[in-house]
Structures are given as structure tokens and as C-alpha cells.
């Protein structure tokens, strides 16, 4: 497959197409957005910012990058790439959005898998995240993708343009997804399964609560078409990587001081990776 950056972005103020002019992107009504040195563009309107620095912090992004680069979550990336290829195999010109792309690990893995897949199809990639730190880190990867600071509330892509939306350990906003997908388009959600990071949770909590797995989804615009579960084991080989893993999870905020101290005393850890992959199809309006 031919992998290309997604070519059309829309103005967050009026939805018009943005065209390059010098180092900026401009719409027909004159709204202008500068391209950062790293190549990404910030299209997050001030009113969509719940805080001055929304989304993952610089430290969280650095920890995620450090941990993911070990390959511990490669089985998840492989499962996402395989499912994506299966979903788009019958199409010739496809746009894929990674909604809440973080520092770009999965979209890069996908770009590599798509490029290696023998097919004349063209696949256009975009990654958005509300955290400018995440998008900046993603843009530094050598990937043929468009990287944008934006919210899932209204991804800056034209109506009916996103054939597939990936939302991995993220925050799906179904109205925002429906606005940019044609009927028949798909959303792939990846969420922690019931045993995800069980061993880590057993160290930081006095009692491990069995989670119910992936959150339920209530939306009229989509229907669930498939669900699968992927289990693997990761070896986390140093205290620094254990700390990085913790800071990627909601447990970083929930763990007590005692729980966190017990975890940092560990020199290495075997952890269960348990994720649920769910595919939803966009219905007719």
C-alpha cells in the first residue's frame, strides 16, 4: 500500500478546507495557523481547551515514548495493524485517523505494516491529540502522516472523509467521529481487558478489583460489528520502565503512596497485557 499524509484539514472556526500558504495553513475566510518547526499544526480552538495545557503532560509523553520503544506493547500494535488491513483491504483510497494518537507509536507501526502490504491502494494517515507535547513527539517520528493538535470533539477533517478511526486507550467522542465519517466507516477501539496489568495492580492495591473490562458504548450512530481479546505477557526490565508504565495508566493517580513505594522497590516485572479490540460501523443518518 502507498502510505501518504492525509491531505485535507479543515478550519476549526468554520469547517472550510485549509490550504498551505508559506509556513501556514489558511482558510478562505482568512483564519491562519502556523506550522510548527516539527511539522505539525495546532488547530485546537481556545474554547476547546479545558486547561492551558490539556491532555498528557510532557513528562507523561516522555514516559510513554520510553516504555513503548521497548516493544512491550508490540503485540497490541500488531493486532491493530492486522485488523486495520482486514478492514480496508477492499478499498483503494482510504483515510485513517488516529484519534488521541499520543506520541505516535501505533500510527508509525501501522504505517510500516501498511507499506509492507502488497496492494496498489493509497492510505492517507492523520494523527490528532489534544496534547501538544504528544503531537510534537509524534511529528518527530519519520512517518508519512499529518499530525495535528486537535480534539476528538471535532476532528479537523472534512465531513464523511475518515474511513477508519482508531481510538487506542483513548477518549472516543462519538458525535465528533460521526461528523467526519461516511456511513459504512469504521471505528476501532482498543481498551484494557479485565486482566490488563494484573501483576502491577496486585502490587499497588491492597486488593485487586477485577475490572469489567472495556467500557460500554452508547451511541445511535454506530453498531458493534466485532470484538476480540488479545493476551500476551510483557517483561518490564528496570525500575525506570516500571515507573514509565505506571505513569501511562490511570493507576498513577489512584495508587496510594505505599502502593507506589512497593512498586518502585521492584527491579523488574512480568505483566499480563490484556486488551479488547472492538470494531464499530457508522450507520446511515
Ligand X SMILES: C[S@@+](CC[C@H](N)C(=O)[O-])C[C@H]1O[C@@H](n2cnc3c(N)ncnc32)[C@H](O)[C@@H]1O
Using DSSP bridges, classify how beta strands 19-21 and 186-192 pair: parallel, antiparallel or unpaired.
Answer: unpaired
CB closer to Zn ion out of 11 and 76: 11
User: For residue 22, what are the contacts with CB-CB under 8 A and spacing of at least 6?
Assistant: none
Measured CA angle at 144 (ends 49, 248), to 5 deg: 50
CB closer to ligand X out of 50 and 210: 50
CA distances from 203 to 143, 242, 269, 276 (A): 37, 12, 10, 23
Name the binder of 31 from Zn ion, ligand X, none, CB < 5-8 A by kind.
Answer: Zn ion
Name the binder of 168 from Zn ion, ligand X, none, CB < 5-8 A by kind.
Answer: ligand X
Q: Around Cβ 110, how many Cβ atoms within 10 Å?
A: 24
The least distance separating Zn ion from the CB of residue 188, rounded to whole angstroms, comes to: 30
Q: Which residues bind ligand X (CB under 6 A)?
A: 55-56, 64, 100-102, 105, 129-131, 134, 151-153, 168-171
The least distance separating ligand X from the CB of residue 95, rounded to whole angstroms, comes to: 17
Interaction between residue 29 and Zn ion (CB under 5 A)? yes
Sign of the C-alpha dihedral computed for residues 252, 218, 214 and 159 taken in this order: negative
Stretch that binds Zn ion, among 11-19, 57-65, 179-187, 196-204 (CB under 5 A): 11-19
CB 206 within 8 A of CB 215: no
Interaction between residue 27 and Zn ion (CB under 5 A)? yes
Name the binder of 56 from Zn ion, ligand X, none, CB < 5-8 A by kind.
Answer: ligand X
Name the binder of 129 from Zn ion, ligand X, none, CB < 5-8 A by kind.
Answer: ligand X
Interaction between residue 150 and Zn ion (CB under 5 A)? no
Name the binder of 51 from ligand X, Zn ion, none, CB < 5-8 A by kind.
Answer: none
- For residues 5, 12, 57 and 38, what is the CA-based torsion angle, rounded to 10 degrees? 40
CA distance 115 to 264: 40
Q: Binding Zn ion by CB under 5 A: which of 7, 14, 34, 233?
A: 14
The least distance separating ligand X from the CB of residue 76, rounded to whole angstroms, comes to: 8
Stretch that binds Zn ion, among 6-14, 43-51, 138-146, 268-276 (CB under 5 A): 6-14
Name the binder of 14 from Zn ion, ligand X, none, CB < 5-8 A by kind.
Answer: Zn ion
The least distance separating ligand X from the CB of residue 73, rounded to whole angstroms, comes to: 8
CA distance 25 to 3: 22
CB closer to ligand X out of 169 and 174: 169
Where are any strands of DSSP class E within the chain?
2-5, 19-21, 24-26, 32-34, 41-42, 93-99, 122-129, 146-149, 164-168, 186-192, 222-236, 269-282
Tell me 211's DSSP state.
Answer: P
Where do contacts with Zn ion occur on this chain (CB under 5 A)?
11, 13-14, 27, 29, 31
Amino acid at each position: 500500500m502507498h502510505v501518504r499524509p492525509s491531505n485535507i484539514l479543515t478550519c476549526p472556526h468554520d469547517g472550510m478546507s485549509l490550504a498551505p500558504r508559506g509556513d501556514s495553513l489558511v482558510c478562505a475566510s482568512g483564519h491562519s495557523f502556523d506550522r510548527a518547526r516539527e511539522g505539525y499544526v495546532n488547530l485546537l480552538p481556545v474554547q476547546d481547551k479545558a486547561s492551558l495545557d490539556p491532555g498528557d503532560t510532557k513528562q507523561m509523553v516522555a514516559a510513554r515514548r520510553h516504555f513503548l520503544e521497548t516493544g512491550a506493547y508490540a503485540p497490541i500494535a500488531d493486532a491493530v495493524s492486522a485488523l486495520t488491513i482486514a478492514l480496508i483491504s477492499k478499498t483503494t483510497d482510504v483515510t485513517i485517523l488516529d484519534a488521541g494518537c499520543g506520541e505516535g507509536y501505533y500510527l508509525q507501526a501501522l504505517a510500516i505494516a501498511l507499506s509492507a502490504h502488497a496492494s496498489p491502494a493509497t492510505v492517507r494517515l492523520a494523527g490528532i491529540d489534544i496534547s501538544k507535547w504528544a503531537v510534537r513527539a509524534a511529528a518527530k517520528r519519520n512517518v508519512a502522516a499529518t499530525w495535528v493538535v486537535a480534539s476528538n470533539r471535532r476532528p479537523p477533517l472534512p465531513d464523511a472523509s475518515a474511513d477508519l478511526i482508531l481510538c487506542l486507550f483513548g477518549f472516543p467522542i462519538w458525535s465528533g467521529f460521526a461528523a467526519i465519517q461516511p456511513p459504512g466507516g469504521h471505528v476501532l477501539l482498543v481498551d484494557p481487558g479485565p486482566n490488563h496489568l494484573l501483576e502491577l495492580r496486585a502490587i499497588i492495591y491492597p486488593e485487586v478489583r477485577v475490572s469489567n473490562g472495556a467500557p460500554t458504548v452508547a451511541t445511535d450512530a454506530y453498531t458493534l460489528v466485532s470484538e476480540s481479546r488479545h493476551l500476551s505477557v510483557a517483561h518490564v526490565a528496570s525500575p525506570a520502565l516500571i515507573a514509565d508504565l505506571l505513569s501511562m495508566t490511570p493507576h498513577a493517580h489512584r495508587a496510594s503512596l505505599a502502593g507506589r513505594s512497593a512498586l518502585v522497590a521492584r527491579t523488574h516485572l512480568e505483566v499480563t497485557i490484556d486488551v479488547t479490540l472492538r470494531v464499530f460501523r457508522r450507520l446511515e443518518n
